[in-house]
Amino acid sequence: MTDAEDKHGPHGVIDRVLAVLAAFEGTTGSLTVAGIAQRAGLPVSTTYRIVASLEGWGALRKGSDGRYQIGFRLWSLGQQAGRRLRDRAHPFLQDLFDLTHENVHLAIRDGLYSLYIDKVYNSRKLPIVSRIGGRLPLHATAVGRVLLAAQPDWFVDAYLARELESPTPSTVTDPGELAEIIHTVRREGLSVTYEQMRLGAISLAAPIVYEEETVASVALVFDISQAGEIERLRPAVKGTADKISRAMRGGSAGAVMRRIAPQAASFSGGEKTRLHAVDPR
């Protein structure tokens, strides 16, 4: 097969279909065919044919305004991803929410990001940045730092060598400081972040372990005015993670993350200074 034939062969078609579907990543609404084509980097005519086929299969659906959204068949298929983990974890997430009345998240690592696969929250609580199916930077979230800490040193070094996103003015992006934070997370088996992803928010996360590997992380997200509650909430978050780990028939979270006896939550220097300004205790 020549290069020209390969370019237009099955792999080329698959790549174009995936590019059309990927155009919907990070969107909160619907897209026109022209908008899909622009985001996918494809000709409008090619995009139109692919969109029509995807609509017929149920991967996309067309609204009354002529714009397209992800279809229910693709959504249903996507729900199969991580289903075992979600099914095992959700009752414990609900228990943690009922106990604390704070937003609860469940995330896994997807490349360089935390992928949120479940959550329990109250609309009257702190506005939340994450959404189910959404991705956030590993270094800027408590769940992300837990997942990053579980990776080998070469991965952490490569991650910190990147140009790191800074969602808020408080986000730690200094590689040396982050390396120290990751070391602390590995040692304590717990991550606490202060205004890293959203101003006014604190997150507290612990690892979920299956077959001696950290496969996910569970977190609470609450308002900075409740900073004094961190020590009270630590056992609840760690206990929930351990219960899910046992439900997954894995080892203990403490063994994998080399957790030591509970102690004061650790913050970076900048985070600690800002926290003390709010809660001088």
Mean pLDDT is lowest, of 6-10, 43-47, 142-146, 217-221, for 6-10
> What percentage of the chain has pLDDT greater than the value 90?
31
pLDDT by residue (tens digit) across 121-140?
776 555 555 566 778 999 99
pLDDT value for 15:
84
pLDDT by residue (tens digit) across 146-186?
999 999 999 999 999 999 999 999 999 999 999 999 999 99
75 confidence band (pLDDT: 50, 70, 90): low
Mean pLDDT is lowest, of 64-78, 84-98, 156-170, 243-257, for 243-257
Hey, which residues does 106 pair with through a beta bridge?
118, 218
CA distance 179 to 187: 12
From residue 228, give the alpha-carbon distance in Å to each of 170, 173, 235, 279. Answer: 19, 26, 14, 7
- When the pLDDT of each residue in the chain is averaged and rounded to a whole number, the result is 78
Mean pLDDT to the nearest integer, 220-246:
89
Whether 39 and 23 have beta carbons less than 8 Å apart is answered as: yes
Mean pLDDT to the nearest integer, 216-240:
89
185 class by beta-carbon count within 10 Å (0-12 exposed, 13-18 middle, 19+ buried): buried
> Diameter of the chain by CA atoms?
71
Mean pLDDT to the nearest integer, 252-268:
40
pLDDT value for 124:
57
Mean pLDDT to the nearest integer, 96-116:
89
Quote helix, strand, coil % in the chain, to nearest 5: 50, 20, 35
CA distance 214 to 109: 10
Hey, which residues does 120 pair with through a beta bridge?
104
Report the amino acid identity of residue 227: A
pLDDT by residue (tens digit) across 10-33?
458 888 888 887 887 767 678 888
CA distance 52 to 58: 10
Closest by CA position to 255, among listed 264, 246, 263, 247:
246
pLDDT value for 93:
92
pTM of the model: 0.65
CA distance 139 to 228: 23
pLDDT value for 123:
61
Mean pLDDT is lowest, of 43-52, 196-205, 264-273, for 264-273
Name the 3-class secondary structure at 157.
Answer: helix
